[in-house]
Structure 1
Amino acid sequence: MASVCGETWFHFFLKETLMGLSWVSFLPETRQDLLVSIRMCKLLAQCQLDTVKGNAFLYAVPEAISALTIIMLHISSNSSSQQTMVLAVLETLAVLLRAIAGSLWNPHHVAQALQALQAVPLRNLLTREDHDVFHAYHEILHCILQLHPQVMLKASASFLCAIRHLLHSVMREGRQKADTNSYESDKDWVLRSAQSMERLYCQVAACAANFTALASFLVAEYVDELQKVTLRTDVKRHLSEGIFAVLDVCREADLNMLRTCLSPGVQEIFRHLYTDFQRFHQYKTRVRADTEDV
């Protein structure tokens, strides 16, 4: 509809959509209207628009991202918040971040998306909708790394905080459980989440040229959390493989800092992790390189 209607109707439709994201829609009786506006914003971002309409939409994206961030902050402060609304906001933010790739005027608007992530209530993730929220959260981090890496570097503290939020969720659900029925019911989703974290760590490592100073913080966060839980073997394998990719870009000075600054118990965990890294990961890397040369 948006791609075939006239410019006057398109501007009216765009204006109404942005108005629907306003603070007035936080009223309980207009909650459903707010959800519709969020989804309409997502549909607009996915439309194939001509130059005039496309430019008009791009100019509206910063306002939409700001509104969605405010909505997420409001949801997080509301104990009765629904995951349906959270999921809709995250999916729309991801689509908007893709829409403005290559035409970004102010990186602040992408940094706002990171602010919204920090407010996401990643709970026990017991339902399918909770799982979808996790993967929508991961998709935003993936978009920022892939399409807006300069923002990730400038807002590194917020980015690391967002990754930590995601890691805590995986490790909480990936711990070994005595209830075997519960284990079987959530085994597949937890494994997929661990695989997503592995890919995210590998993607961060690919930005090594400017990210080495922060890579050690990711390693420190992982080993610190590893001290608190006993992970399932399959979950630990994928998380460790991701951390190995990060270790691959750590400088010797960063490694020495980890050996010195970590608490004694965490130092022992790091020592075992680094031994495995040298024994398996670096060996696999050398074998892969030799195979490619042949």
Structure 2
Amino acid sequence: MKARFTSARWGRRATSAVLAGLLTVGALTACGGSSDDSATADSGGAPAAQYDAAAKSGGDADRASVVSPESARASVGQKLVRRANLNLKVDSLTGAAQRIRAIAAQQGGVVVTEELYSGEQAHDTSGTMTINVPATSLDATIALIEKVGDVQFRNTSSEDVTAAYVDTEARVKSMTASVQRIRDLIAKASTVNDLVALENELSQRQAELDSLTAQLTNLKDQVAESPITISLSTDDFEAVTAPGFLSGLKSGWSAFVTSLSVLVTVLGAVLPFVAALALVLVPLLWWLRRRRAGRLPLVAPVAQPAGPAPPSAG
């Protein structure tokens, strides 16, 4: 009896041990499978969401790597856009324009615009020229132009664009790095969805980069070159523009003469048509009047009433 009880007890222990071993092996297998799946997910291609997160975080990383505005301004120096305006009274308009063109070529500049006007009289002439010269030669060019005639007016101005220059340049560098990062991600894309999403992002950033590059180029051109506008006249600018009774009278008379000339021109243009209409309408009206008069009925003379008969003689 005792031996039978011992044998049954050992049988139960053996069964329990086997079950415990199986459970342990199953747990280890499950852990190993999850570890393999995790490793596979980490080693495989990143999904589109990870590409998008990496692409969008690139701009933040670029902005974080940009130096401070103070350091950037110190590195590029001060950027100024300089301009000048001159009014000159000259003896000969064409001669002064020729000398200004020569000065512009001598200073390494170009003539942007040139407008010369000639009036009815020889002294009634004026004109405007605009030239672009290197900013470093602006003062020397102005000094040479002042010798062309008598300076009636002079104005120079400077605009500080250092902040805009530094900001645009930093944004160009940041966007250039961002575009390159998107290109690298496109080379590593593993699915069509990832490729489409990254190409859309690349097109948007490339368009923004092109716009920023154009703005930076424009700023560089404005800083590198200075425009000079020269107004030329053979008359005194002050006498032409000075207000007063004589100036108003001259302007009024000029307007009256102009209006009278326009009126005479209009009358001369209309007169042939009026004459042609008169040749047609005058005979027509005369004929209609004669016809109407012929159709009027003749009025018979009105009979006078008879008076009382005279009395007969008895």
TM over 0.5: no
Q: TM-score, normalised by structure 1?
A: 0.21
Q: TM-score, normalised by structure 2?
A: 0.20
Query: Is the helix fraction higher in 1 or 2?
Result: 1
Query: Is the strand fraction higher in 1 or 2?
Result: 2
Q: Looking at CA atoms only, which structure, 1 or 2, has the larger radius of gyration?
A: 2
Between the two structures, name the one with larger relative contact order (CA 8 Å, sep ≥ 6): 2
